[in-house]
Amino acid sequence: MSLDEVEILLVEDNPTDAELTIRALKRKNLINKLVWVKDGAEALDFIFAKGIYSKRNVDDLPKLILLDLRMPKVDGLEVLHEIKANEKTKRIPVVILTSSKEDRDIVESYKLGVNSYVSKPVEFDEFIDAISTMGFYWILINKPPSEVPHGTD
Amino acid sequence: MLINYTLIAVNPLAPLYTIFMNAEYFFGLLLFLLIVLMVALLTERIEKVRRLRTLNSELTRETVKLEDANNELEAFAYSVSHDLRVPLRAIDGFSRIVIEDYEKDLDEEGVRLLNVVRDNTKKMGQLIDDILLLSRAGRQEMKISELDMSSLAKNIYADFDQDTKGRTVIFSVDDIPRAMGDRALLTQVFTNLIGNAIKFTGDKDISKIEVGFKDAKDDNIYYVKDNGAGFDMKYYDKLFGLFQRLHTQEEFQGTGVGLSIVQRIVSRHGGRVWGEGELDKGATIYFSLPKNLD
């Protein structure tokens, strides 16, 4: 898969949670164009085509970003802020996928313009159900704007 | 003669002079005493201010300590809510994956053992949720408003429709007065009490749950009464204890946190919680709320 036609960008530092998430998305055949990055810094590099991803075409944006909140280096809220503050990337749907059910995380995420907030269930069946439904909705049912504007210049 | 005259002339003034001198001495003394008094008062004042300042800075230090402790508790609750769930999800998920992917290699006992693992992760997940509820019940800021307790109770009962499906439950709410309180917290109180009543009447042919009211001088007393498993009054002191349960997990599932949460919330409202029960006859849990909440 070319890194320029990514559908889902999964930002998750915990490998077991990432494996479970990918397994859930696989049930709806949503993992063919999925890229998994392991922390917020790598996510920003990918989205803005910097660092190890500097060869990527910055205009090819993922269709969906699944973002964990607590991660080393750059945490999820900072990544969310960067995405939503940038004219080019702010239309990408971002879904927070986290273990936290804390009100302040939810409030802060929505303040920053998150498109959806999903608290990952502990129970496996509920988890698989929540994640696959969410992925199916954002990739296959939701209608994004057809033309993503290329900046304001 | 002149000298004599002078002497004579001075002499009549002498007593006056003495009086004047005495008066000057007297006023001087008075002034001196006044100054001494003022200095003493001032010193005492300064001492008082100094003591006050010491106390003040001690208080500030204690407040900072308390804030630190609170923040630590908050961070702990946050960590519990986030970090403890991650490994739990992995344990549950990967046991399930083994059952799914290696079904033909596992015999019945193998599947049973993995399900024991899964059952226990579910219990621990419930425990984490309940501890968080308890911690939130204690630290969440209260927004006091007038609440329609009757419709609150009815709505909460309606939310339990999954648990009451297929059962015969007679649920009644008496004409109970409104109360001053925090909506979210008192919703939690009714959720726990009505939820308990539904749970502990689970093996009755007809479950009877009654939400009622008793008037007292300064308080409104509400109660939730059921005809369920009840409890033996000799264990009453354990009823509201954290993680204390009066039934085995086989009889009724639970973590033993529910009534602790109720007690914490009601006491934050300035009220009291108590109960009465009889084994296999039912239980009644009362809680009081002040009529005038300051």
- Where are chain B's structural domains? 84-139, 146-290
Looking at residue A147, what is its pLDDT?
59
Among B76, B80, B82, B97, most A C-beta atoms within 10 A, so best to mutate, is B82
CA dist B235 and B126 (Å) reads 25
CA dist B250 and B230 (Å) reads 16
CA dist B117 and B95 (Å) reads 7
From the number of C-beta atoms within 10 Å of its C-beta (0-12, 13-18, 19+), residue B209 rates as buried
Over range B155-180, report the average pLDDT: 93
Among A21, A122, A129, most B C-beta atoms within 10 A, so best to mutate, is A122
A38 touches chain B (CB under 8 A): no
CA dist B257 and B192 (Å) reads 10
| Segment B246-280, tens digit of pLDDT | 887 777 878 888 899 999 999 999 999 999 999 98
Q: Residue A94 pLDDT > 70, yes or no?
A: yes
Over range A66-76, report the average pLDDT: 90
CA dist A98 and B81 (Å) reads 10
Name the residue of chain A whose CA is nearest to B84's CA.
Answer: A99
Q: Residue A28 pLDDT > 80, yes or no?
A: yes
| Segment B96-113, tens digit of pLDDT | 999 989 988 999 999 999
B125 touches chain A (CB under 8 A): yes
**Nearest chain A Cα distance for residue B81, angstroms:** 6
Q: Residue B7 pLDDT > 60, yes or no?
A: no
Looking at residue B19, what is its pLDDT?
65
Question: ipTM, 2 decimals?
Answer: 0.72
B80 touches chain A (CB under 8 A): no
Looking at residue B248, what is its pLDDT?
78
Over range A25-29, report the average pLDDT: 91
Considering only the beta carbons, identify the residue of A69, A101, A120 that sits closest to B89. A120
Tokens of B222: 């509400």
CA dist A100 and A17 (Å) reads 14
Of A124 and A151, the one with more pLDDT: A124
**Could you give the C-alpha distances from B185 to B56, B159, B192, in angstroms and in order?**
35, 16, 11
| Segment B202-224, tens digit of pLDDT | 989 999 999 999 988 889 999 99
| Phi, psi of B278, rounded to the nearest 5 degrees | -140, 135
CA dist A46 and A67 (Å) reads 13
Of B138 and B53, the one with more pLDDT: B53
B88 touches chain A (CB under 8 A): yes
- What's the pLDDT band for A148 if we cut at 50, 70, 90? low
| List of E strands, B201-272 | 206-215, 219-226
Q: Do A97 and A118 touch, CB atoms closer than 8 A?
A: yes
Q: Residue A22 pLDDT > 80, yes or no?
A: yes
Least-confidence region, from A46-50, B76-80, B105-109, B215-219: B76-80
Residue A9's H or E segment, with its range, is: strand A8-11
Q: Residue A73 pLDDT > 90, yes or no?
A: no
Structural domains in chain A (count): 1
Among A97, A124, A125, A127, most B C-beta atoms within 10 A, so best to mutate, is A124
Name the residue of chain B whose CA is nearest to A18's CA.
Answer: B90
Determine whether the interchain pair B89/A122 forms a contact, defined as Cβ–Cβ distance below 8 Å: yes
Looking at residue B217, what is its pLDDT?
85
Q: Do A11 and A83 touch, CB atoms closer than 8 A?
A: no
Q: Residue B192 pLDDT > 70, yes or no?
A: yes
Tokens of B110: 């193998």
Decide yes or no: CATH 3.40.1050.10 for domain B146-290: no
Q: A15-26 and A124-136 are packed helices; what angle lies between their axes, rounded to 10 degrees?
A: 60
Domain that holds residue A115: 8-139
- What's the pLDDT band for A10 if we cut at 50, 70, 90? very high
Q: Residue A9 pLDDT > 70, yes or no?
A: yes
Contact residues on chain A for B125, CB-CB shorter than 8 A: 122-123
Q: Do B213 and B220 touch, CB atoms closer than 8 A?
A: yes
Q: Taking the model in full, what pTM does it have?
A: 0.63
**Nearest chain B Cα distance for residue A88, angstroms:** 32
Q: Does A20 fall in a domain?
A: yes
A119 touches chain B (CB under 8 A): no
Amino acid at position B63, single letter: T
Looking at residue B137, what is its pLDDT?
83
Of B16 and B109, the one with more pLDDT: B109
Considering only the beta carbons, identify the residue of A69, A99, A122 that sits closest to B92. A122
Q: Do B162 and B199 touch, CB atoms closer than 8 A?
A: no
Residue B286's H or E segment, with its range, is: strand B282-290
Tokens of B120: 């226990």
Q: Do B95 and B117 touch, CB atoms closer than 8 A?
A: yes
A72 touches chain B (CB under 8 A): no
Beta bridge partners of B181: B145
Q: Does A129 fall in a domain?
A: yes
- What's the pLDDT band for B294 if we cut at 50, 70, 90? low
Q: Do B231 and B277 touch, CB atoms closer than 8 A?
A: yes
Looking at residue B15, what is its pLDDT?
64
Q: Does A1 fall in a domain?
A: no
Considering only the beta carbons, identify the residue of B82, B93, B125 that sits closest to A20. B93
CATH number (domain holding residue A36): 3.40.50.2300
CA dist A27 and A114 (Å) reads 25
Residue labelled with tokens 């001198």: B21
**Could you give the C-alpha distances from B121 to A153, B87, B136, B258, in angstroms and in order?**
54, 10, 22, 20
Looking at residue A44, what is its pLDDT?
94
Least-confidence region, from A80-84, A102-106, B42-46, B75-79: B75-79
Average pLDDT over all residues of chain B:
87
Determine whether the interchain pair B83/A99 forms a contact, defined as Cβ–Cβ distance below 8 Å: yes
Name the residue of chain A whose CA is nearest to B120's CA.
Answer: A123
Amino acid at position B251, single letter: E
- What's the pLDDT band for B4 if we cut at 50, 70, 90? low
Among B84, B85, B91, B133, most A C-beta atoms within 10 A, so best to mutate, is B85
Q: Residue B16 pLDDT > 60, yes or no?
A: yes
| List of E strands, B106-193 | 144-147, 168-173, 179-182
Determine whether the interchain pair B90/A124 forms a contact, defined as Cβ–Cβ distance below 8 Å: no
